[in-house]
Chains A and B, each alone.
Chain A
Amino acid sequence: MKHPAMKVLPIALAGLVGLSACGGDTTTDQADAPRAASDGDTGGSAKGDFGPPQGQPVKAVLTQPPLVPPATGRKAPAKVIVELDVVEKDMAISEGVTYTFWTFGGTVPGSFIRVRQGDTVEFHLRNMPDSKMPHNIDLHGVTGPGGGAASSFTAPGHSSRFTFKALNAGLYVYHCATAPVGMHVANGMYGLILVEPPEGMPPVSREYYVMQGDFYTTGKYREKGLQPFDMQKAIDENPTYVLFNSAEGSMTGDKALSAKVGETVRLYVGNGGPNLVSSFHVIGEIFDKVWFAGGTRFQENVQTTLIPAGGAAIMDFHLEVPGSYVLVDHSIFRAFNKGALAILKADGPENKAIYSGKEVDYVYLGDRAQPNMQAVAKAAESASTGELTLQQQVDAGKALFAGTCSTCHQAEGQGMPGVFPPLAASDYIAADAKALPRVILHGLQGRVLVNGKDYNSVMPPMAQLTDDEVANISTYVLNSWGNPGGRISKADAAAIRAQAPANAAGGE
């Protein structure tokens, strides 16, 4: 048998992404180690070793997004066994659009791992036999060169094991670091590992796991079918999709995150990248606390927090008012044109003392849309003299629609898939024209089926609109965008205002 070594050509492959040393830059000077921690200083990794693991090894509970494993509840360091499978698989990235993801644990982001500072983690990375690629893992919570990458390089149908001690508390990203690194990350190979501080995280009512990522497909945004990875778009940092938990609609409609008024919600939010930095924001909430950068300190009363690619943050907020809260990347075109949008739905009683809703929108409408309101005034005048024409109603309704309705249902009534039902060519409207004034006046909550798609959210009642205005908006919608036409009169609106249906939303 001949030896395989021919001309020896060792290659240090240049990684395509210039990642700096991950999590491992601890130059602990032994002489300095016992140094007392200064005020409020945790002492970092030098103070993070609580001795050898105690008791029987524990198998880590891994959860799929958006769920978070329960607190470890441990008071002493343990040996924790983590078994993570690498799976290459096709999944939906948007409706009718699939993408071949490379995953840790079968989901993107990968399984959430939760350990306690001082734990010894025995990590098993198993690459499925039908994988095309070798893979590895770099955990930013690891102290050691490469964050485990070199020790976990695993061919298809193989498994690797390495062990590390979690010396630093915090929320850390993990990711694949096999060449080409950028492509492995772009295909979804990232997730979060929480290293709890010794005392644990302060208890809250609910915890969720959300991770942003940018995706690059050869086809355009929402172009149907199986979409391959586009390397040039990735190099140009020009994503087709920017997503939470790797799919449009991953957390909207039936899959929206849920909570109740009076609860405190905690989000563990990571950003896998590969390229973009997130301006993470929840519309309608203020973060009571943000453990910025996923570290030890929290800032209070924060509107938007920056989450770098390969970074994370933890945020708590208390829910006072029911409704849908929208998670976005406030680099806002990403939210509305590339998919970076999720919903947290809070159920519970209204609290008008804290949020009453409609007044602000009403005033704002008057201020900004003055010229267009001529049509509204004209319609009101004609109505009073009994000479109102269909065209006058449509013109007036159009102006009102632009101010009040288009925010959610969009300027051309196209709605927003998974969140706001379309009004254009709507079978829901075609089936019952009176649904328009009814929903405007009484709101709507619960599941509705529109053009074959399920929607399950809340539209607040717009009872501040006069009967004239409701009639005009309804008539405008009936006569626009492929709807069947028809007319709703002031008298129709008045009659409907008097009777609340069963599925009315809360409020007046």
Chain B
Amino acid sequence: MRRAATWLLAALPLAAHAGDPGWARLPGGTFESVLRYEDARRGVRVAPFELMRTPVTNAQFLDFVRRNPQWRRDRAPRLFVEPRYLSHWKAAATIGPPARPEQPVTWVSWFAADAYCAAQGARLPTWNEWEYAAAADETRRDARDDPAWRERILTWYSRPSNTALPRAGLQAPNAWGVQDLHGLVWEWTDDASALLVDADNRKQGDADDTRFCGAGALSMDDRGNYAVLMRVAMLSSLAARDATAHMGFRCARTVVR
């Protein structure tokens, strides 16, 4: 029985490899989130979706900017992008050097990432989709209980971002066939701005009343999972027009049955 289940685990991702080579298909299902949802005590439903296997690269984003010049760094409205938007590029429509085409694109705001995905007929993944995909390691669909796996992720989070980014797609694919969810760049999620941590992270059970009223409160179900805490802290420290040296993104799309 157990062996059969293991076999099934290994076989499922293979099925997802069919179709568009740049995209992995994830079956979805009930996902035990680290965050405690009052309306989903038994886990969050994740519908089947597809996710880009690698984060969007400078080259891909340049292609988007050329087709949509309103998103050039010298034209994009300041309401949607902060002044450092694409500031690591040599010019408004030239990547580098020192930036390289195959590196993941960074210095992009949430608005720019959202527009990129929309232009591909896609969208940013939701927080839960992203976490569902990122719970997998190379062999397991949910490796979150493995201390060694957690330590690997934390080690990357604890390093400053002062070295050149490797190119996208260098790391081994996870069990879903998705690469670089950890260890390369932070990634925007569609509902990033709804991850409302009170800026003083220590108040237990207090919702951020100053930004949202009547909202319910969520808290952590797994306090040992520091990596998730750090992703929440990172996303919640940014406004949607902000960009940083290591915040990138990838797109998702809903599977129409």
Interface residues of A (CB under 8 A from B): 1-2, 4-19, 88-89, 100, 129-134, 136, 138, 145-146, 149-151, 153-158, 177-181, 183, 187, 218, 228-232, 235
A238 shortest CB reach to chain B, Å: 15
Q: B203 contacts A136, CB within 8 Å? A: no
Instruction: Flag B100-128 by CB within 8 Å of A: 1 or 0 each.
Output: 00000000001100110010000000110
Measured between beta carbons, the chain A residues less than 8 angstroms from B193 are 4-5
A134-B202 contact, Cβ under 8 Å, with A4-B191, A16-B229, A231-B154: no
Interface of B is mostly: loop
Complex Cα distance A134/B207, Å? Answer: 20
Question: What is the CB-to-nearest-CB distance from A170 to chain B, in angstroms, rounded to a whole number?
Answer: 22
Nearest Cβ on chain B to A216's Cβ, whole angstroms? 11
Report whether A150 and B242 are in contact in the complex, using a CB–CB cutoff of 8 Å.
no
| Selected A-B contacts with CB under 8 Å, 17 pairs | A1-B115, A9-B191, A11-B35, A12-B198, A130-B160, A132-B159, A136-B199, A138-B200, A146-B202, A149-B200, A149-B202, A156-B244, A157-B84, A179-B197, A179-B229, A179-B233, A229-B155
The one of B150, B159, B203, B220 that contacts A100, using a Cβ cutoff of 8 Å: B159
Q: Which of the residues B194, B206, B229 comes within 8 Å of A9, measured between beta carbons? A: B194
Q: Is the CB of B197 within 8 A of A12?
A: yes
> In the complex the two chains form, is B201's CB within 8 Å of A133's CB?
no
Q: Which residue of B lies closest to A89 (CB)?
A: B160
* Chain A residues with CB under 8 A of B202: 14-15, 17-19, 146, 149, 177, 179, 181
B194 touches A6 (CB 8 A): yes
Binds A, one of B16-24, B60-68, B210-218: B210-218
Q: Does B149 contact A (CB under 8 A)?
A: no
Query: Which of A11, A88, A130, A181 lies at the interface centre, i.e. has the most chain B CB atoms within 10 A of its CB?
Result: A11
Residue B46 lies at the interface, judged by CB distance under 8 Å to chain A: no
Partner of B151, one of A10, A15, A230: A230
A-B contact count (CB 8 A): 191
Asked if B15 is at the interface of the complex by the 8 Å CB criterion, the answer is no
* Interface residues on chain B, number (Cβ under 8 Å): 65
B205 touches A12 (CB 8 A): yes
Residues of B within 8 Å of A16, CB to CB, are 223, 226, 229
Contacts of B160 in A (CB 8 A): 88-89, 100, 130-132
* Contact status of A14 and B151, CB under 8 A, knowing A4-B110, A178-B233: no
Q: Please give, as numbers and ranges, the residues of chain A lying within 8 Å of B158 by CB-CB distance.
A: 100, 132, 183, 187, 228-229
Q: How far is the CA of A187 from the CA of B157 in the complex (A)?
A: 12
- Which residues from A are CB-within-8-Å of B198? 12-13, 150
Task: Please give, as numbers and ranges, the residues of chain A lying within 8 Å of B245 by CB-CB distance.
Answer: 129-130, 156-157
Contact B200 A145 (CB under 8 A): yes
**Among candidates B126, B192, B199, B218, residue contacting A10 with C-beta atoms closer than 8 Å:** B218
Using A157-B84, A180-B226 as known contacts, say yes or no to A9 and B199 having CB atoms under 8 A apart.
no
Instruction: Given A7-B191, A10-B196, output 9 extra A-B contacts at Cβ < 8 Å.
Output: A2-B118, A9-B196, A10-B217, A132-B246, A134-B238, A145-B200, A155-B237, A180-B229, A181-B201
Assess whether A1 is in contact with B126, with CB atoms less than 8 Å apart: no
Which residue of A has the minimal Cβ distance to B203? A12
Contact across chains for B208 and A15 when beta carbons are under 8 A apart: no
Q: How far is the CB of A101 from chain B (nearest CB, A)?
A: 10
Question: Which residues of B sit under 8 angstroms from A9, Cβ to Cβ?
Answer: 35, 37, 127, 191, 194-196, 215, 218
Q: Which residues of A contact B216 (CB under 8 A)?
A: 10
Smallest CB gap from A230: residue in B? B151
The answer to whether B229 touches A4, judged by C-beta atoms less than 8 angstroms apart, is no
B240 on the A face (CB < 8 A): yes
Q: Does B6 contact A (CB under 8 A)?
A: no
